[in-house]
Amino acid sequence: MEDKRQIVDNLVLELRRGTLVLSVLSQLVAPQYGYSLVESLETKGIHIDPGTLYPLLRRLEKQELLQSEWETSGPKPRKYYILSVLGKEVYQELCNEWLELNKSIMAIL
Amino acid sequence: MEDKRQIVDNLVLELRRGTLVLSVLSQLVAPQYGYSLVESLETKGIHIDPGTLYPLLRRLEKQELLQSEWETSGPKPRKYYILSVLGKEVYQELCNEWLELNKSIMAIL
DNA sequence: TGAATATACTGTATGTCACACACTATTGTC
DNA sequence: GACAATAGTGTGTGACATACAGTATATTCA
């Protein structure tokens, strides 16, 4: 038998899970690199583990929702990501779906 | 390379995934059986496949968020579920977390 | 009447996907 | 040398979708 705290935490985890992609896409209208994403989302109350983000970014790039570019002129090499055209479209649709879903949930609570 | 429709569908799936438990819990302030749950949620714009719901109900019962009772006096045996005390508490917390999350997401969109 | 079909209802098994977590590795900076 | 910045990998677990199985009642229709 699990304890209550753990059950809740787990469910919250599941809740936030699906919103991660949405969060990430929303930030990439302007180019950002992984580490900066982690930080900027953190300030907005959305925690994402680097070990979660990096594979996510790669996956989104493979799906062609993102484009990336290495920036090597600075002191440390950084990989910048930004939304592709397809990414923008998908992001838009996802936003709409979120609003829909939100409406449904609010209605039943 | 996947096509756009499929990518979006998949992401939407992920979005709704975490909200399933919340939806189900919200309906079980009054006793309901599986099939009635599927239908009542459907009318509220939340689709859940029976094959998804039944295992979910059993899982929630195992976690002691739900209690169940067979109703055998009717023409067909039905298994009624309702929130336990623990379930109500968890539901409350989950609601709050949802509202929090919602605020965060709305802020970044 | 009786057979076929639909529908209500509960359940199981398997596959896939995605994240958390813990880890490695590198390069600057104080 | 320690710490921050930055990127990455690999494994395990959890959860849902999908498809399938099965029973009982109601309905249709020849």
Report the alpha-carbon angle B5-B56-A105, nearest 5.
Answer: 60
Taking residues B42-57, report their average pLDDT. Answer: 91
Q: Tell me the pLDDT band of B104, cut-offs 50, 70 and 90.
A: very high
Using a pLDDT cut of 70, give the percent of chain B over it: 97
Chain A residue at shortest CA distance from B21: A11
Facing B108 at nearest CB: one of A13, A26, A102: A26
Q: How far is the CA of B55 from the C1' of D6 (A)?
A: 42
Residues A94, B11: C-beta atoms closer than 8 Å = yes
The reported pLDDT for the residue numbered B2 is: 60
Q: What are the residues facing B68 on neighbouring strands?
A: B81
Domain residue ranges in chain A: 4-108
Q: What is the pLDDT along chain A (109 residues), one digit of tens a residue?
A: 458 889 999 999 999 999 999 999 999 999 999 999 999 999 999 999 999 999 999 999 999 999 999 998 877 899 999 999 999 999 999 999 999 999 999 998 8
Measuring from the CA of residue B17 to each C1', which nucleotide is nearest? D16
Interchain pair B105, A23: CB under 8 A: yes
Could you say which nucleotides of strand C lie within 7 A of any protein CB atom?
Answer: 8-13, 17-23, 27-29
Q: What one-letter code names the amino acid at B100? A: E
Determine the topology of domain A4-108 in CATH. Arc Repressor Mutant, subunit A (1.10.10)
Q: Which residues of B touch A19 (CB under 8 A)?
A: 15, 18, 101, 105
DSSP string for residues in A24-46 = HHHHTTS-EEHHHHHHHHHHTT-
Tens of pLDDT, residue by residue over B52-98, are 999 999 999 999 999 988 887 767 788 999 999 999 999 999 999 99
- A28 token code pair: 């990439």
